[in-house]
Structure 1
Amino acid sequence: MSMNFATSATTSFLTLMGVLLGGWLSTRNQERLWRRDHARQWRDIRLSAYNEFLSAYRQYLAFALDQDARIFASPSPRKPDEMMPYFDEVGRPYREKFEAAIMTVRLVSAQRETADAAKELIDRTRRIAAARATHTEQDIPTELFDELWKAHRRFLVAARQELDLPDIWPSQAEQ
C-alpha cells in the first residue's frame, strides 16, 4: 500500500511539474513573440517616420531652391549669428510639414544618434533656405551644400543602423 501511495505521489508530482514546465515554456515563448512583434511594429513606425521626414525635407529643400520662392531671413532668436528663414504663404505648408516630420522623428527615434543626425540635417537645410533669401538658387555657397550632403548621409547611416539595416556606404576613413 505504501508502494502504491509513493508511485501515485511520484506520478502526480511529475505530472504537475510537467504542466508547470509546459506553462512556463508557453508563457516564455508568448512573451518572446510579443517582444518580437512589438519590435517589428516600432521598426515599421520608425521607417514610416523617417520616410516622411526625408520626403518633407526634400520638398522643403526643393521649394527653397525654386527660383520663384519668396524667402525672408532674420537673425535667429536663440543664435543671433545664424539666420532663420521665413516663407510666404506658398512656402508655409512645406515648412509646416517639415516641422511636423521633425517632431515625429524626435518622438520615435530609439537612438540619440538618429535624432542628432536629423537635427543636423534640419539645421543645414535651414541654412540653405536662409541663404536663398539673399542669393539666387545658383549663387548659394557650395560649402552649404557640401555640409548638407554630409548631414544627409549621416542621417541615413544613423537611421539604417537604428533600423538594423546594413551600412551600404564606405566608412569616412575609406573615402
Structure 2
Amino acid sequence: MWRRDHARQWRDIRLSTYNEFVFAYRQYIAFALDADAIISASPHPYKPDEMMPYFDEAGRPYREKLEATIMAVRLVSARRETADAAKELVDSARRIAAARATRTGQNVPTEFFDRMWQAQHKFMVSARQELGLSNIWQDTEE
C-alpha cells in the first residue's frame, strides 16, 4: 500500500511539474513571437553555430520561468528520455527566440518551428509514457 501511495505521489508531482514546464515553454514562445518583444542575440559561448537569445526586463520572467521549470523536469523525471526531450524543446524555443532578434515573427525559418513541434511531440510522448498514459499519437510523426 505504501509503495502504491508513493508511486501515486510521484506521478502527481511529475504531472504538475510537466504541466508547469509546458506552460512556461508556451509563454516563452508567445513572448518571443510578440511583435513588441525586445530580443537580442549573441553567439553561444560553447556552441559556435548557435545564438543565445537575451530578453529585456519584460521578457526576463519568461526566460527565468523556463529555466526553472526545465531544472524541475530534470529533477523529477523518471526517464532520461523525458528530460532529454524537454531539453530539446527548450533548445528549439531558444533557437526561435534568437532568430527573432533579427527577424519578425513571420520571418523565423519554418524549419525552426518544425524542429520545435517535433521536440514537443517527443516530450509529450515520453511524459505520457512515464506517467502511465496511453500513447494517443502512436501512428503519427515521431
Deviation per residue, 1:150-174 (Å, 9 max, x gap): 100100000000000000013357x
CA RMSD of aligned residues (A): 1.2
Aligned to 1:150: 118
| Matches for 1:20-39 after TM superposition, within 5 Å | 33-39=1-7
Distance 1:114 1:53 in 2: 12
| 1:137 lines up with 2:109 in the alignment | no
* Structure 2 Cα separation of the partners of residues 138 and 171 of structure 1: 30
Displacement of 1:81: 1.2
Output the CA distance in 2 between the equivalents of 1:89 and 1:146: 29
TM-score (norm 1): 0.79
In structure 1, distance between residues paired with 2:90 and 2:104: 21
Structure with a larger share of its residues in helix: 1
Higher RCO, 1 vs 2 (CA within 8 Å, ≥6 residues apart): 2
Gaps of 5+ in 1: 1-32
Name the counterpart of 1:41. Answer: 9
TM-score normalized by the length of structure 2: 0.97
The residue number in structure 1 matching 2:74 is 106
Query: Are residues 1:54 and 2:22 paired?
Result: yes
State the AA in 2 paired with 1:91: G
**Matched AA of 1:57:** Y
- Name 1:116's counterpart in structure 2: 84
Q: Output the amino acid matched with 2:131.
A: L
Residue 39 of structure 2 corresponds to 71
Residues of 1 paired with 2:139 and 2:70: CA distance? 26
Identity %: 73
Measured after TM superposition, the shift of residue 65 of structure 1 is 0.3
Which has the larger Rg? Answer: 1
1:167 and 2:135 aligned: yes
Query: 2:138, 2:82 → 1: CA distance?
Result: 19
Equivalent residues, number: 142
* Secondary structure at 2:27 match in 1: helix
